[in-house]
Amino acid sequence: MAQLRQDYDQFVARDAEIFVIGPEDRNAFARYFADNQLPFVGLPDPDHRVLKLYGQEVNLFKLGRMPAQVLVDRQGIARYVHYGHSMQDIPSNAELLALLDELAEKV
């Protein structure tokens, strides 16, 4: 999430919203967001309800939820989905920003 904070202004400049869904309970999630000064929206999902809707993998041998990134357009259609195989398997901000630029060109 800290990675997304670094280029937050570039996401905003592309009229994109960052929405983070995490496995923590409400208090832990709010504390993490406050401690790390995250400027975007977060949704605690301790019961994994949203996780199940998007098919995000849980692997207890790899510390729980595997990372997933989804770009959703204004119509609510998922235009890009990346399911990571480890906590290091996360697209860079540059990749996500390039995808947003591609999507904007198609509109």
Q: pTM of the prediction?
A: 0.81
pLDDT at 27: 95
Domains of the chain, CATH where assigned:
2-106 (3.40.30.10)
SS3 28: helix
pLDDT at 78: 86
pLDDT at 101: 95
- Which pairing describes strands 19-22 and 41-44: parallel, antiparallel, or unpaired? parallel
pLDDT at 2: 79
pLDDT at 62: 52
Residues of the chain with pLDDT under 50: none
Encoding tokens for residue 48? 């994994």
pLDDT at 106: 81
DSSP per-residue string spanning 47-75: T-HHHHHHT--EEGGGTEEPPEEEEE-TT
Furthest C-alpha separation in the chain = 41
